[in-house]
């Protein structure tokens, strides 16, 4: 391992050696660290150097490069000159360099890059004498455009207009048809654009170009695109980017050169074998930009898309052979699927980048289980890497091909699996605006750029007319887990008029029309289509497909088994009905951590009885009405105990404010009055009396059971008699009664006394007992702060982090949408605290509660049942707190199992 010296600012790579290596991502960024590793492995990496990330953070503060840095850069360029035999800024063989960003966490396309730097008329002439005049001029105009855009912020359209004007004058359509003289004209116009936009002439001094480009890349860490990307992907702001300065190699020297990107295995479905694309006669950025549709590397893939004979394998067998050898070497070295960038200059192959490939959930499961089977990694290494949330994609619905009612409108490349239906949006802004109104959206674009990121985030799915599987749209959608189709060339998109037409069809679609995309197959369909359950759910939950017919389900089960072997946290589910419980059990839940018993009250026949309870002023009447609900509750609980046999079932007593059960419509009020023989006025005045300004802080939770103990008693009776009856069937029943919203130990003591009195009475009568534990939710800050006292009355704690977050932050969980997204956007909270635990605030209260609770009662079981129980980073936090279990919604159970294993492995 190379030594990381914090004072060192510049790290070399190339010529078979490097200062850095793959372990130094924090300092050198992913790209710089891996370039170092590749150079050390002896792979053909153009030489260069990396400016370390602390320089970026310092630049963010001072807005200037540190003193003396450019002197060091000059020395570093000297080394590159020595290794390449070229000279920076002059002929006869001039050195051009690329200046690229590269953070520790890859952020594709979010920051800036400048290519062909070191160019001026004199250099261009020298390059022309060596490599052809047309090539030199093309490189020169690309450089002015990129530098102008990245460093001086000149909008690309200014340069494009100049280029179009020359093409028009010369009567040509393609850029490649412009000869050297025409390119001279383009260069002259570009220089005018630069002058007009900046008020300065274009800088021809290569050192000035280099310094300003380095500064621009450091500054791009703070651009809006990059900041948005970090928010969405939960990447901290204080990592900074490194800058990589590297000798240029040229994929655009002619048709026998090219540049491409590839994956050592298919990033969409995980299939074994190299998967890549290249563009002949092009520079690196052309491929990722998705402007020209690239050609497959492998012959078989080319044949499948009618490009037989054109693949890299067929046209350049020697380069192809070397590339395959490099791919294998890199995958073996890293022990994981690599995403690499390469360029070939005639017979010479160069590697420009390697990184761990972003993949779909499907591909994560397949590649990791394959790598284990191939003996390249251990099961624990495999599960440590799979992003836990990627499992959500595997469980997501897909298009029901048997029921698809129309034949596809068009076919594109299947870039991100899963099916999505929505209205068409032609711009990211429109997608975002309408999605905010809960309208499902499919974002339809010619191709996407980093400026579209907010629209992609808001959309259900993404469809583009251009681009390959490595285009921006494909890479970003895959990272977001969204269904995505790219390269759907039959689409004709008129963004200005908001119309979408399809080649060979009269159909004209607009923003009001609904389409469905199947990102698994690449099919685009008209209208809303039937969408079917995921293959994994068909095997595990529906049991309509045997595991032997689904390699995906087999891989899923393996990963779950490895996770279960590694984790310490138990994973339970939040389930209110036997059906939810069945799904959760099939997905591995080890019990119910929260049954919100009030959800059983809302069905028509039950709600009437509940309304009578609330309206009755006499206890006798309330008890009579409750007796009407009790049999229903008992049946529901019996269902849960049967499904969860042998596993704990935690049932929470009534929680929501009473008035939530009351009628609102005139009709319902009248019906209730008739039924209970009240006057309409009596009903109305009771409703008015129960109204609260802050119901979330009002008469809810245990406060109901304390003022109306007969409600708690009825529920305790229903739970205990259900437990007795199911136990009599031979089922092992593990019932737990949980009291909500306790803030003071006396509240819990009162409720516990009611429950115990009821249980004793019932068990006495039955002549049998079952063991029922009594515990409480910790969801009021006071409860957390006095957990030692509360533990004297509680056999278990379960953190209700929804309420605990609300009350700790003083942010209403129901109205958080009003300002919280802005707060997250401004970085006040880095994550929505209702999604991912506020570890330093709410988490601190939890820590106190665990410590003091267990001090009083060492065997105290502690879990969590707020929404955070299914959020991977919150699960990790719960592991470090030493909780016994997390409980989450059924479909998040696999995510929690994997996240719990990852937390245990990280210890
Ligand atoms: C909680 O507050 O976290 C909780 C689980 O209870 P509810 O969401 O029902 O208030
Ligand atoms: Mg709560």
In contact, 731 and 642? CB cutoff 8 Å: yes
Pairing verdict, β 592-596 and 570-574: parallel
Kindly report the average pLDDT of the chain as a whole number: 92
Average pLDDT over residues 579-583: 91
Nearest CA to ligand 1 atom 4: 800
Ligand with smallest separation from the Cα of 596 = 1
Average pLDDT over residues 564-588: 95
Average pLDDT over residues 635-663: 93
| Cβ-based neighbour number of residue 765 at 10 Å | 10
- Of the two residues 475 and 250, the one the predictor is more confident about is 250
In contact, 864 and 883? CB cutoff 8 Å: yes
Protein residues with C-beta less than 5 angstroms from the ion ligand 2: 779, 800, 803
CA–centroid distance, 800 to ligand 1, in Å, is 5
pLDDT band at 1 (very low <50, low <70, confident <90, very high): very low
Nearest CA to ligand 1 atom 8: 802
Ligand 1 atom closest to 801 (CA)? 3
| Alpha-carbon span 886 to 893, nearest angstrom | 9
- Of the two residues 310 and 480, the one the predictor is more confident about is 310
CA–centroid distance, 86 to ligand 1, in Å, is 67
Ligand with smallest separation from the Cα of 654 = 1
pLDDT band at 296 (very low <50, low <70, confident <90, very high): very high
In contact, 426 and 445? CB cutoff 8 Å: yes
Q: Is the pLDDT of residue 787 over 50?
A: yes
- Of the two residues 402 and 58, the one the predictor is more confident about is 58
Q: How far is CA 547 from the centre of its chain?
A: 28
CA–centroid distance, 801 to ligand 1, in Å, is 7
The per-residue pLDDT for 4 is: 47
What does the pLDDT look like over 75-132, one tens digit per residue?
999 999 999 999 999 989 999 999 999 998 877 666 678 999 999 999 999 999 999 9
The per-residue pLDDT for 479 is: 62
pLDDT band at 711 (very low <50, low <70, confident <90, very high): very high
Nearest CA to ligand 1 atom 9: 596
What does the pLDDT look like over 436-473, one tens digit per residue?
998 999 999 998 877 788 899 999 999 999 877 667 78
Closest CA to 588 of 603, 566, 609, 573: 573
Average pLDDT over residues 585-614: 86
Ligand 1 atom closest to 596 (CA)? 9
What does the pLDDT look like over 853-887, one tens digit per residue?
999 999 999 999 998 999 999 999 999 999 999 99
Percent of the chain topping pLDDT 70: 96
Pocket test for ligand 1, best of 599, 740, 799 (most atoms within 8 A of CB): 740
Which run of H or of E encompasses 25? helix 25-40
Ligand with smallest separation from the Cα of 801 = 1
Closest CA to 357 of 384, 388, 321, 385: 385
Three-state DSSP at 4 gives coil
DSSP string for residues in 805-872: HHHHHT--TTTGGGTHHHHHHTTSSSS-TTTS--TTTHHHHHHHHHHHHHHH-TT-EEEE-SGGGG-H
Q: Is the pLDDT of residue 561 over 80?
A: yes
| Alpha-carbon span 19 to 247, nearest angstrom | 17
- For residues 357, 103, 233 and 372, what is the CA-based torsion angle, rounded to 10 degrees? 30
What does the pLDDT look like over 418-429, one tens digit per residue?
899 999 999 999
CA–centroid distance, 575 to ligand 1, in Å, is 13
Average pLDDT over residues 564-574: 97
What does the pLDDT look like over 138-184, one tens digit per residue?
999 999 999 999 999 999 889 999 999 999 999 888 777 889 999 99
Most confident range (mean pLDDT) of 102-111, 221-230, 569-578, 748-757 is 748-757
Q: What are the C-alpha distances in Å from 420 to residues 186, 376, 397, 466, 518?
A: 44, 36, 8, 19, 7
Three-state DSSP at 892 gives helix
Nearest CA to ligand 1 atom 6: 800
Q: Retrieve residue 31's tokens.
A: 């790209």
Ligand 1 atom closest to 574 (CA)? 5
Q: Is the pLDDT of residue 74 over 80?
A: yes
CA–centroid distance, 578 to ligand 1, in Å, is 20
What does the pLDDT look like over 609-635, one tens digit per residue?
888 888 888 899 899 999 989 999 999
What does the pLDDT look like over 357-367, one tens digit per residue?
989 899 999 99
Whole-prediction pTM: 0.84
The per-residue pLDDT for 174 is: 78
In contact, 470 and 261? CB cutoff 8 Å: yes
The per-residue pLDDT for 776 is: 98
Closest CA to 470 of 484, 457, 459, 456: 484
Q: Is the pLDDT of residue 292 over 90?
A: no
The per-residue pLDDT for 832 is: 83
Q: Is the pLDDT of residue 399 over 90?
A: no
The per-residue pLDDT for 289 is: 59
Average pLDDT over residues 762-773: 97
What does the pLDDT look like over 340-390, one tens digit per residue?
999 999 999 999 999 999 898 999 999 999 999 999 999 999 999 999 989
Three-state DSSP at 409 gives coil
Q: What are phi and psi of 739, to 5 degrees?
A: -95, 125
| Alpha-carbon span 185 to 195, nearest angstrom | 15
Q: Lowest mean pLDDT: which of 196-210, 643-657, 811-825, 874-888?
A: 811-825
Give ligand 1 pocket residues (Cβ under 6 A). 594, 596, 655, 779, 800-803, 865-866
Pairing verdict, β 94-95 and 87-88: parallel
Ligand 1 atom closest to 594 (CA)? 5
CA–centroid distance, 599 to ligand 2, in Å, is 13
Q: Could you give the residue numbers annotated as active site?
A: 472, 865
Closest CA to 293 of 275, 307, 274, 313: 307
Ligand 1 atom closest to 865 (CA)? 5
DSSP string for residues in 61-119: HHSSPPTTHHHHHHHHHHHHHHHHT-EET-SSSEE-EEEEEEESS--TTTS-EEEEES-
């Amino acid at each position: 391992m190379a030594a990381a010296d914090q004072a060192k600012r510049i790290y070399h790579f190339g010529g078979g050696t490097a200062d850095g290596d793959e372990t130094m991502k924090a300092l050198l960024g992913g790209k710089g660290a891996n370039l170092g590793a590749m150079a050390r492995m002896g792979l053909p990496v153009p030489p260069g150097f990396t400016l370390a990330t602390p320089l970026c953070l310092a630049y963010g503060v001072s807005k200037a490069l540190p003193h003396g840095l450019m002197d060091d850069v000059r020395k570093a360029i000297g080394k590159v000159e020595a290794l390449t035999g070229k000279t920076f800024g002059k002929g006869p063989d001039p050195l051009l360099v690329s200046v690229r960003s590269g953070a520790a966490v890859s952020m594709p396309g979010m920051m800036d890059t400048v290519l062909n730097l070191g160019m001026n008329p004199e250099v261009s002439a020298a390059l022309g004498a060596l490599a052809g005049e047309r090539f030199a001029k093309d490189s020169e105009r690309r450089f002015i455009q990129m530098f102008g855009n990245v460093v001086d912020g000149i909008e690309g359209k200014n340069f494009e207009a100049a280029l179009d004007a020359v093409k028009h004058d010369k009567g040509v359509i393609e850029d490649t048809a412009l000869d050297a003289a025409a390119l001279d004209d383009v260069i002259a116009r570009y220089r005018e654009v630069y002058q007009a936009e900046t008020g300065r002439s274009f800088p021809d001094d290569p050192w000035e170009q280099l310094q300003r480009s380095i500064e621009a890349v450091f500054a791009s860490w703070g651009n809006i695109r990059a900041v948005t990307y970090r928010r969405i992907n939960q990447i901290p702001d204080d990592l900074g980017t490194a800058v990589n300065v590297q000798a240029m190699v040229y994929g655009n020297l002619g048709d026998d050169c090219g540049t491409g990107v590839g994956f050592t295995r298919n990033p969409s479905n995980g299939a074994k074998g190299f998967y890549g694309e290249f563009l002949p006669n092009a520079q690196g950025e052309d491929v990722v930009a998705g402007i020209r549709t690239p050609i497959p590397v492998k012959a078989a893939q080319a044949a499948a898309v009618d490009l037989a004979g054109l693949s890299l394998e067929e046209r350049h067998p020697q380069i192809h052979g070397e590339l395959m050898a490099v791919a294998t070497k890199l995958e073996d070295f890293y022990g994981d699927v690599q995403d690499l960038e390469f360029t070939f200059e005639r017979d010479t192959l160069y590697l420009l980048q390697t990184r761990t490939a972003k993949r779909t959930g499907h591909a994560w499961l397949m590649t990791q289980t394959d790598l284990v089977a191939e003996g390249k990694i251990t099961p624990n290494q495999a599960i440590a890497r799979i992003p836990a949330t990627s499992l959500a994609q595997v469980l997501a619905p897909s298009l029901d091909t048997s029921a698809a009612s129309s034949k596809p409108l068009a076919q594109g490349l299947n870039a991100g699996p899963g099916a999505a239906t929505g209205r068409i949006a032609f711009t990211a802004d429109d997608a975002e605006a309408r999605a905010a109104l809960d309208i499902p959206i499919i974002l339809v674009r010619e191709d996407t750029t980093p400026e579209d990121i907010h629209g992609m985030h808001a959309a259900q799915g993404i469809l583009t007319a251009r681009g390959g599987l490595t285009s921006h749209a494909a890479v970003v959608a895959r990272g977001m887990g969204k269904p995505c189709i790219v390269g759907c060339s039959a689409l004709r998109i008129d963004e200005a008029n908001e119309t979408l037409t399809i080649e060979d069809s009269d159909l004209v679609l607009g923003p009001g029309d609904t389409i469905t995309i199947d990102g698994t197959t690449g099919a685009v369909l008209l209208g809303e289509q039937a969408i079917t359950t995921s293959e994994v759910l068909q095997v595990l939950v529906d049991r309509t497909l045997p595991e032997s017919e689904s390699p995906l389900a087999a891989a899923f089960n393996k990963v779950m088994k490895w996770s279960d072997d590694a984790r310490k946290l138990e994973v339970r589910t939040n389930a209110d009905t036997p059906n939810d419980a069945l799904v959760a059990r099939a997905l591995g839940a080890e019990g119910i951590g929260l049954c919100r018993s009030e959800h059983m009250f809302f069905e028509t026949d039950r709600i009437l009885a509940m309304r009578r309870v609330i309206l009755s002023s006499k206890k006798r009447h309330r008890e009579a009405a409750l007796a009407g609900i009790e049999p229903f509750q008992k049946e529901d609980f019996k269902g849960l105990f049967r499904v969860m046999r042998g596993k704990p079932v935690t049932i929470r007593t009534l929680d929501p404010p009473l008035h939530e059960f009351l009628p609102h419509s005139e009709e319902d009020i009248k019906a209730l009055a008739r039924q209970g023989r009240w006057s309409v006025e009596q009903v109305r005045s009771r409703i008015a009396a129960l109204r609260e300004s802050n119901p979330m802080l009002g008469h809810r939770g245990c406060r109901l059971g304390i003022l109306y103990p007969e409600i708690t008693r009825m529920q305790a009776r229903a739970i205990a008699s259900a437990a007795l009856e199911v136990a009599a069937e031979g089922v092992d029943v593990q019932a737990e009664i949980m009291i909500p919203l306790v803030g003071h130990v006396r509240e819990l003591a009162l409720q516990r006394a009611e429950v115990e009195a009821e249980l004793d009475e019932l068990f006495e009568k039955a002549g049998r007992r079952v063991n029922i534990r009594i515990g409480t939710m910790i969801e009021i800050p006071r409860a957390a702060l006095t957990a030692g006292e509360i533990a004297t009355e509680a056999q278990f704690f379960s953190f209700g982090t929804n309420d605990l977050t609300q009350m700790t932050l003083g942010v209403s969980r129901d109205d958080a949408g009003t300002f919280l997204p802005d707060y997250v956007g401004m970085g006040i909270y880095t994550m929505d605290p209702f999604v991912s635990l506020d570890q330093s605030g709410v988490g601190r209260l939890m820590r106190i509660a665990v410590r003091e609770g267990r001090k009083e009662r060492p065997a105290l079981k502690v879990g969590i049942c707020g929404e955070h129980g299914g959020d991977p980073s919150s699960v990790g936090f719960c592991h470090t707190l030493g909780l016994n279990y997390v409980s989450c919604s059924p479909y998040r159970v696999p995510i929690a199992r994997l996240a719990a294993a990852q937390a245990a492995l990280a210890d």
